[in-house]
Amino acid sequence: MSTPSTISVTDDFEVPLDRRPRHIAVIMDGNGRWAQRRGLPRIEGHRHGVASVRRVVEECNRLGIGQLTLYCLSSENWKRPQGELDFLMHLLEQYMIEQRGDILRQNLRISVIGRRDGIPDRVLAQIDKTIELSRANTGPMLCLAINYGARAEMVDAVRAIAEEVRDGRLDPNDVTEATISDRLYTAGMPEPDLLIRTAGEMRLSNFLLWQISYAEVWVTERTWPEFDEELLRQAVRDYARRVRRFGGLEE
């Protein structure tokens, strides 16, 4: 999947475009805690989290961020109560239907990474429809990680490589880092420059483990429903002040 050919940037943000991250990945954490602190059911936290998704997607578009990847549902989240999972599937289906117009208006391209097993057919149908309708768009990429786990992703990549070796289409001596990257769910996407995690957690939670090898990490104590445009800008400001050495020395 190629990076956007044109990104329209019309903002007054003080960070120059070439100092902004090209790709931001977000672990959206704390929906349940946000709700519980207010005496609300956990599902209300997820409902309010969707509003944060809308805000952040629109702000990334305004700031000229080429790709935003959101960790929506991990492969471990299936352990949650069935009622909560059903509501999450409903929210996902609803988002794909209700936000379709805005996605097309903002010229966004939609991509989904993760395994399709366990996701209801009706939800998959709406996901596939939105992906297809946005395919011709030329703007930023919105990538949703749904039923995603980095270890499962690596297992699938290794299986694909093993099959190619078995069939004589690939020499084991020719396997490189690029060979693996090209068989991940994110093949063709730029690696994240900035990883944001909300709710103060310091874990990677099995998210893009291969891809974030050199990403800058930014953590806020604010929960995901509290995350807004200004917090996103703060994260980008902090990112712009960092020196990215990629294992080398500062010049």
- The yes-or-no answer on residue 238 being catalytic is no
CB contact at 8 A, 113 and 143: yes
Task: Return the pLDDT at 10.
Answer: 53
Using 70 as the pLDDT threshold, list the residues of the chain that sit under it.
1-11, 246-251
Task: Return the pLDDT at 244.
Answer: 79
Question: How far is the CA of 215 from the CAs of 22, 50, 72, 125, 189, in angstroms?
Answer: 11, 25, 19, 33, 14
Name the 3-class secondary structure at 143.
strand
- Look up the pTM and report it: 0.92
Q: Which of 213, 215, 206 is nearest to 235 (CA)?
A: 215
Give the residue extent of every domain in the chain: 18-149+191-239
41-89 tens-digit pLDDT: 999 999 999 999 999 999 999 999 999 999 999 999 999 999 999 999 9
- The yes-or-no answer on residue 77 being catalytic is yes
77, 107, 137, 206: which is the annotated catalytic residue?
Answer: 77
- What fold characterizes domain 18-149+191-239? Undecaprenyl pyrophosphate synthetase (3.40.1180)
29, 31, 61, 193: which is the annotated catalytic residue?
Answer: 29
Angle at 234 between CA 228 and CA 237, to 5 degrees: 145
